Structure 1
Amino acid sequence: MIRRGFGGRRRVYPVALLGAGLVAVLALSGCTSGETAAATSASGGGGGGKTAEAPRSQEAKLVATPAVDAKDASPAGPITMAVTDGALQAVTLTNAEGKQVKGELAADKSTWTVTEHLGYGKTYTWAGSAVGADGATKQLNGSFTTVKPKRQMGASLNTGDGKTYGIAMPIAVAFDAPVKDRVAAQKAMKVATTPETEGAWAWLDDRTAHWRPKEYYKPGTTVRVTVGIYGVDLGGGTYGSDDITSSFTIGRSQIVRADTQTHRMVVITDGTQTQDFPASMGLESDPGRVTKSGTHVVMSKHATYGMTNPKYNYENVMVPWAVRISNNGEFVHGYANSIPQQGKRNVSHGCINLSPANAKIYYDSVLPGDPVEITGSNQQLSSADGDYYDWAVSWDKWTSMSATSN
């Protein structure tokens, strides 16, 4: 141990004395350390002598969605009561008539969520309680009112639950009136497929939207469509009146290829040619009778159908095994009178004529949504031909018709 004196000279002590002094110091330290620790503990750890307080338990904090006193809440939700630093106990939400709304409490009791749609223009009141981490009970209270629409708008789907459709089937949503906010409407429309299928919505006009895949569906694909417009502002204070849904399946692959120049209609099922029928199509020397080139889609089928065309002076001419392939009057159907021309020349008013026997074979195999690919004529299928001209539109053009393309 070295000490510096007042005069700056150093004094050296014997090692033995240093050892004895060290023992004394250690002994002293040993006696005082316990007292110091006790004093430190009593004073809260030293550092100014302030006493540390134990952490306080937190009281429950409630958050309602929509906010309490909201006047324009969407009746479709989300509508929740949530708690932090605590757990929800009994929770109820009732309308003005005292009817309780259906809801579900999360397993950890942190959130209670409404599980049904509420009504438009109604007031709902919270009740119940939550217990905080501090053990104190906090009562739930407050109310909110759902929006009251200026108008309500409905919609319909072209597909049905449990049905089976062909590989080209478009999904069509038709609204009751023009939609001002197409972006809001389209965001509320969902298509889920298994296996996953690339597709897109396109607006054909201000009240009609179609969804189709980029390429034909794979056979066996399952499709779920949800048009969740209830509680959605579709523009100008018009709200959706109801949600609509549809779940369906895509069947086997069947493609018809008809050539107006060879006068043949070929059927390809699951990649294998199954039929090759002689046919007569629309007379091309008359622009009003041409069978349009392009991919048509089977819309419906009828064991018998009455054909009427005032321009060409015929009304309710009954034909067998009629399969509609567009809304411009084109069908695949049986017609015995044109059998001599079938496979040789085109004489129809736009339809694909087959013999009644061949038409029956095709009729029995067909599904709505099957594609009918027609080539060779001097006119193309287009929007002028009505539903469904979806496959006559290029994919780039189709996606540009989406409300959210920009």
Structure 2
Amino acid sequence: MAPGSHRHRLARPVPEQPRGGEEALLTHSCPPTAPHDSRKRSSVYSIRSLRTLAVPAIAVALLVGCQSASKTASVDPADARPARITITPGSDTAAIAPDATVKVTASHGTLTKVRVVPDGAGSQAVTVTGALSRSKSSWHSTRTMTPGATYTVEATATNAAGKSAVQHSAFRTRTAQQINGVTVTPSKGSTVGVGQPVSLAFDHPVRNKAAVERHVTISTSPKTEGSWGWTKDPLTGIERVDWRPKTYWHKGTKVTLQARLSGVNTGDSRYLRRDGEGRGYFGRTNMSHGCVDMSLADGKWLYNRAAQGDLVQITGSTRATVSPGNGFGDWNLPYAS
């Protein structure tokens, strides 16, 4: 020992330090109380045993604490306000146009149900379809309504707290002062020839052709390319819109027409009253038929074998081609036109 230095003997040995951060934390939390080695070692062992039991207990306590916190999470009072529904037109509104738009909006909530149906059992009026916004906070009708009909609206909305609110409204559509009629060819369930177009003929001229086009669709099985075209009969003045395939119908093709025309304004406030719907099988056979000069016997033979929509191909004629509106002359026009 160097001169001037002093040696001090500790009153008791330094206790054995545990290994690892977690064990050290428990040792400091629960220090041994015995003043000599044997008790001290025993105390360390009991701490280690206690640690084995204490860790799961802490984990369980934390898990319970998390569950309790999630259950007690509260909804913002602002979001818990009752959902409010607004329907346009309201019940106190005067009669509206058949092609007007029905709107439903929800504040402090989202729409979960909207129905717009004709009032009264056995009503011939059409049911109104609609579309919901991405946020589900608004809805608007996507089709026209039957003139002179009464409709009922039922809307349901739910707020952030899960509480629902229901709102009703009733309104009436104006009676049409002028009506346009439509005749669909071929009739529903028909089986026709490979050249028959789908045709909608109107009693009065159609000023608003775009409105009609938006509400008629054709579906085919198998899928068939085709297009709509407008024409007018030069003899009667009747205007019509025809849908023909790019090439002749494939035999056995099933064709479905959906014409959601009730309430469509064809121009000058002249409305269509009813939907027209047709379905049939096209492409029965490929034979000749039409207004051609035949003997009575030949005409009878052809009449008994041909069907509506069978094609007539005349060759060797020096006369001009007839107008596309003079009968179903759709095939006299190139597809691109």
* Same fold per superposition (TM over 0.5): yes
Deviates more, 1:372-381 or 1:126-135: 126-135
Look up the SS of the partner of 1:383 in the other structure: coil
TM alignment of 1:119-268, pairs within 5 A: 119-121=146-148, 124-126=151-153, 134=161, 136=163, 138-205=165-232, 207-256=239-288
Q: Deviations over 1:222-253 (max 9, x none)?
A: 11122221122223332211111221112433
Q: Distance in 1 between matches of 2:28 and 2:216?
A: 79
SS at match of 1:364: helix
> Counterpart in 2 of 1:295?
none
CA distance in structure 2 between the partners assigned to 1:379 and 1:224 by the alignment: 36
Q: Is the 8 A contact 2:260 2:275 kept in 1?
A: yes
Deviation (angstroms), 1:396: 1.6
Deviation, 1:137, is 5.2
SS at match of 2:212: helix
Q: Evaluate the alpha carbon distance shift between residue 123 and residue 161 of structure 1 in structure 2; reply closer, same or farther with a 3 A threshold.
A: closer
Aligned to 1:55: 75
Query: Given the two structures, how large is their TM-score scaled by the length of structure 1?
Result: 0.51
Contact 2:226–2:245, Cα closer than 8 Å, also in 1: yes
User: How far apart, CA to CA, are the structure 1 residues paired with 2:198 and 2:215?
Assistant: 15
2:252 maps to amino acid: G
- Determine the C-alpha separation between the residues in 2 that align with 1:112 and 1:384: 43
SS in 2 for 1:164: coil
Tell me how far 1:377 sits from its aligned partner: 1.8
SS in structure 1 of the partner of residue 287 of structure 2:
strand
2:97 and 2:28 map into 1 onto residues whose CA distance is 73
Q: Is the 8 A contact 1:59 1:86 kept in 2?
A: no
Indicate the SS of the match to 1:157: strand
Q: Classify 1:29/1:127 alpha carbon distance in 2 versus 1 (closer, same or farther; 3 Å).
A: farther
SS at match of 2:303: helix
Counterpart code for 1:333: M
Instruction: Find the residue that maps to 2:314 and give its secondary structure.
Output: strand
Amino acid at match of 1:228: R
> What is the rounded CA distance, in whole Å, between the counterparts of 2:111 and 2:82 in structure 1?
5
What secondary structure does 2:320 align onto?
coil
The correspondence of residues 266-281 of structure 1 with structure 2, limited to 5 A, is none
Task: Give the counterpart letter for 1:231 in structure 2.
Answer: G
SS of residue in 1 equivalent to 2:243: strand
2:331 alignment partner, one of 380, 383, 391:
391
Q: Deviations 1:243-267 (Å, cap 9, x if unpaired)?
A: 11221112433234xxxxxxxxxxx
Pairwise CA distance, 1:30? 5.4
On the 8 A contact 2:85/2:157 being kept in 1, the answer is no
- Structure 2 residue 337 is matched with structure 1 residue 376: no
Give aligned-pair identity as a percent: 22
Q: Following the alignment from structure 1 to structure 2, what is the Cα–Cα distance between the partners of residues 126 and 210?
A: 36
| In structure 1, distance between residues paired with 2:246 and 2:259 | 20
Aligned CA distance change for structure 1 residues 165 and 59 (closer, same or farther; 3 Å) = farther
Q: Distance in 1 between matches of 2:90 and 2:317?
A: 66
What secondary structure, in the 3-state scheme, does the structure 2 residue paired with 1:162 have?
coil
**Which whole-Å CA distance do the structure 2 matches of 1:120 and 1:74 have between them?**
8
Q: Note if contact 1:179-1:234 (Cα within 8 Å) is conserved in structure 2.
A: yes
Distance 1:162 1:71, change over 3 A: same
Describe the shift of the 1:141–1:161 C-alpha distance in structure 2 as closer, same or farther (beyond 3 A): closer
Q: Deviations over 1:347-384 (max 9, x none)?
A: xxxxxxxxx2x444433221111111111222232217
Letter of the 1:174 partner, please give it.
Answer: A
- How far did 1:207 drift? 2.5
SS at match of 2:312: strand
For residues 74 and 200 of structure 1, do their structure 2 counterparts lie closer, same or farther at Cα, with a shift above 3 Å needed?
Answer: farther
Deviation at residue 61 of structure 1 after TM alignment: 3.6
Q: Determine the C-alpha separation between the residues in 2 that align with 1:75 and 1:332.
A: 49
Verify the 8 A CA contact 2:110 2:157 in the aligned structure 1: no
Report the count of equivalent residues: 269
TM-score (norm. length: structure 2): 0.60
What is the distance in 1 between the residues matched to 2:90 and 2:295? Answer: 67
* 1:22-47 deviations in Å (ceiling 9; x for gaps): 9898469858xx9xx99xx8xxx9xx
- The structure with the greater share of residues assigned to strand is 1
Distance 2:127 2:149 in 1: 17
Pairwise CA distance, 1:96: 9.8
Equivalent in 292, 296, 311 of residue 331 of structure 1: 292
Q: What amino acid maps onto 1:217 in structure 2?
A: W
Larger Rg: 2
Alpha-carbon spacing, 1:66–1:217, altered in 2? closer, same or farther (3 Å)? farther
1:387 positional shift: 1.1
